[in-house]
Amino acid sequence: MKRVSELVVLAVDLGGTSMKGALVTEHGATVATETRVTPENDIVDALIELLHSLEANASAQGMQVVAAGVVTPGIVDEHSGVVKYASNLGWLNKPLLQLLRARLDMPVAIGHDVRAAGLAEQLLGAARGAEEFVLIPIGTGVAAALVSSGETLTGATGAAGEFGHIPVVPGGELCLCGQRGCLEVYASGAGLARRYLARGGTELSSKQIVARLGTDPIADAVWTEAVQVLGQGLAIMTLLLDPRVIVIGGGFAHAGDALFTPLREALTAGLAWREAPRVVQALLGSEAGRIGASILAFRAAGRGDVVNGWPLAVEAA
Amino acid sequence: MKRVSELVVLAVDLGGTSMKGALVTEHGATVATETRVTPENDIVDALIELLHSLEANASAQGMQVVAAGVVTPGIVDEHSGVVKYASNLGWLNKPLLQLLRARLDMPVAIGHDVRAAGLAEQLLGAARGAEEFVLIPIGTGVAAALVSSGETLTGATGAAGEFGHIPVVPGGELCLCGQRGCLEVYASGAGLARRYLARGGTELSSKQIVARLGTDPIADAVWTEAVQVLGQGLAIMTLLLDPRVIVIGGGFAHAGDALFTPLREALTAGLAWREAPRVVQALLGSEAGRIGASILAFRAAGRGDVVNGWPLAVEAA
C-alpha cells in the first residue's frame, strides 16, 4: 500500500534584512526553518534558491509540496502579485508572482507581510474571533493591517494601512519620508531612539530606553510623548474603522504594562462619546508574517480550510 | 387582463431637522415626495405617520409598495436595525427596525444616512465604478462613508466613519464633543462660522464666508486653515484606506474651485511617496441619503437588482 505523504507549503517572510523560510504542514506544524541574509542585489534569485532548498528538504522528508507563499513589505498588490514599491528591497513594480511562477512548478501566493501577519493573528492569535480588528506592529517603523467583516483591506493600489505615516502633529518633527509630524517619528523604535539622543540621551535602543523608565527623565519624557501620539493614532483608527480589538505587535509590545496601561488610558481619554476597543498584545510575535505566508500558500493550493485545524496561540503565562 | 402595477418603495431620510420622504419606483423615479419637520418628541410616531401617508399616496396611484427604507444619523447597526446613539434625535438604543416592523406590513431596512448616501454615490453618482472610495459630506458637521471592495464599512459597533471627530491638532480648539482638535472644529460649516466670528468677523454662514474669499482677510484666514486641516484629514484617510477617489459632498462642496483647487494641493503636498487619489464633488447632493434609503428598501424586498437600470447622475454643465 502506498503511503500517503504529508502535504506541506513553502512559506517565506522576505524582509530587508533577512529571508525567513519554513516548511509548514497541513496541520500547522513548522517542520523546518531556513533563514538567510537578504542580499543587496539579485534578491529574487536568492529567494528562489531558498524556496528550492526548502522544497528539497520536503522531498527528503517524503513530504509533498503543494504551494508556496511569499510575503514582502512595501506596497503589494496581492491579486496581480506585483510588489509596486518596497524601499528596503529596492523594488519598483517587481512582478514577483510572475517571476516565481516561471521558476516554481506549483501554485504561488504573494502577500503583504503585515497584512499576512494580521491574517495569522486573526485565525490563530490575539484577534481570534474578531471580524473587525487592526494589527499594528511597532518595530523600527510602524504599519497596520486593517480587517473589516473578516476581510483584510488592501485599498485601491495595495497601499492601505500606512499607519506609521499618518500626519498627527501639524508642522511636527521631520520624518525620513520627507513629511513632518508622521506618527512613527514619535512612536516607533527608530523614532524613540532618535528623540532620546536628540534630548541629550546616549545612543540606546528602544528596548534599553524602556528599561530606564522611572529612573531616567529623558526616557520618561520621550516615552510619554510616544504613548500620547500613539493614543492619538489609535483614536483616529477607532473613530474611522470602529475595530473590536486593536492588536499591538513588534518590539514596542514587549514593553508590556509600561506601554499598555498608559496607552489604554490615552485612547480612552481621546474618545468623547464612545467606548474604547480592547487594546491587546499580539500573540504570534515575529512568526506572524511567516505563518500568514503559509496560510496564503494553502489558500493558493485550494486548501485554505486546513487552517481550521491548526493549533491556536496562547497567551504567555 | 389585470394591469401589472408598478412597484415602489417608501424611502425616508430622517434627520434632526426634517424627515424627507419619497416614493421611488423600481425604475428609480421619484414619483412623490413628502417632507415634514422632525418633532422634538414621539419621532417614531411621526415617522410612521409619514410612512403611512406615503403608502396611501402609492395606493391612490395604483402602485404596489414592496418595502420601506429609513436612514438616520448617529451610530446605526444596520443588521439589528438598532440606532445605538443619535444625539440630534435624542435616541439611545432605539430598536427602530422592530418598532417599524410592528406597525408596517412590509419588509423594512434601517440604514445610516451617510453610508446610504455613499451607496447612492457609488451606484449612481460620483463614485461610480469605484470599488474603493470615501464619501465625505461636509455640512454643519463632518462624517464619512468608507467603501472598500465595494462594501461599506460599518465597524464592530456600527460607528465607523466618524471622520469629523478624528483628532488632528493635538491640544487644539475645543469641540462640542468635549475633545480638542477634532477635524470638524476647523473644517465644517459650524466650525468655519464659529472661527470667523471668534477672529473678529460678523455672524455669517459658511456660504457667506466663502463668498467673501479674496476680499475679506478673516474669511481667507479661516478658510485656508479649514482647507489645510481637511487636507491633513484626507492624507490620513488616503494612507489608511488607499481609496481610488474621495467624494466631497455637503455645503462645503458647493464652494467649487475655492475648495477643490487648494484641497487637492494640500493633499498632494501631504503625501510623500504615493500619488493622491482623485478628489471630486458629490453628484447627488442632498438627495443622496433618500436615494440610498430607497436602494436599501429594494434590497430588503429582495429586488436590489432593479438599481442596475436606474438613471445615472451626471455632472452639472
- Tens-digit pLDDT profile for residues A158-213: 899 999 999 999 999 999 889 999 999 999 999 999 999 999 999 999 999 999 99
Q: Is the pLDDT of residue A291 over 70?
A: yes
Q: Tell me: the pLDDT tens digits for B96-107?
A: 999 999 999 999
Question: For residue B285, what pLDDT is reported?
Answer: 87
CATH superfamily of A7-117+285-309: ATPase, nucleotide binding domain (3.30.420.40)
Q: Tell me: the pLDDT tens digits for A118-137?
A: 999 999 999 998 999 999 99
Nearest CA in chain A to B157: A242
Who contacts B29 (Cβ-Cβ below 8 Å, separation ≥6)? none
Q: Select the CATH number that applies to the domain covering A130-281 from these four: 3.30.420.40, 3.40.50.880, 3.40.190.10, 3.40.50.720.
A: 3.30.420.40
d(CA B185, CA B196): 12
Positive/negative CA dihedral, B177, B46, B113, A147:
positive
- CA distances for A39 relative to A18, A107, A112, angstroms: 8, 25, 20
Between A188 and B313, the more confident residue is: A188
Average pLDDT, chain B: 94
Question: For residue B273, what pLDDT is reported?
Answer: 80
Q: Is the pLDDT of residue B316 over 70?
A: no
Average pLDDT, chain A: 94
Q: Is the pLDDT of residue B134 over 50?
A: yes
Q: Is the pLDDT of residue B317 over 50?
A: no
Question: For residue A217, what pLDDT is reported?
Answer: 97
The reply to whether A130-281 shares the fold of A7-117+285-309 is yes
- A235: three-class secondary structure by DSSP: helix
Question: Could you tell me what percent of chain A has a pLDDT over 70?
Answer: 98
Between B272 and A18, the more confident residue is: A18
Average pLDDT over residues B293-307: 96
Question: For residue A317, what pLDDT is reported?
Answer: 42
Give the position of cell 493550493.
Answer: A301
Nearest CA in chain A to B180: A270
Question: For residue B292, what pLDDT is reported?
Answer: 97
Q: Which of residues 173-192 of A touch B (CB under 8 A)?
A: 175, 177-179
Q: Tell me: the pLDDT tens digits for A54-71?
A: 999 999 999 999 999 999
Q: Where are the domains of chain B?
A: 7-117+285-309, 129-281
d(CA B251, CA A240): 22
Between A97 and B87, the more confident residue is: A97
Q: Tell me: the pLDDT tens digits for B174-218?
A: 998 899 999 999 999 999 999 999 999 999 999 999 999 999 999
Average pLDDT over residues B223-246: 97
Between strands B278-281 and B245-249, the pairing is parallel
Question: For residue B248, what pLDDT is reported?
Answer: 97
Q: Which residues of A touch B273 (CB under 8 A)?
A: 85, 87, 177-178
CATH superfamily of B129-281: ATPase, nucleotide binding domain (3.30.420.40)
Question: For residue A316, what pLDDT is reported?
Answer: 56
Nearest CA in chain A to B174: A272
List the beta bridge partners of residue A278.
Answer: A245
Write down how long chain A is: 317
Q: Is the pLDDT of residue B313 over 90?
A: no
Q: Are the C-beta atoms of A177 and A165 separated by less than 8 Å?
A: yes
Interface test with B, best of A239, A244, A246 (most B CBs within 10 A): A239
Q: Is the pLDDT of residue A249 over 70?
A: yes
d(CA A127, CA B201): 51
Distance from CA of B240 to the nearest CA of A (A): 4
Question: Among A179, A235, A241, whose Cβ lies nearest the Cβ of B270?
Answer: A179
CA atoms within 13 A on the CB side of A55: 15
Here the ipTM equals: 0.89
- B171/A contact by beta carbon, under 8 A: no
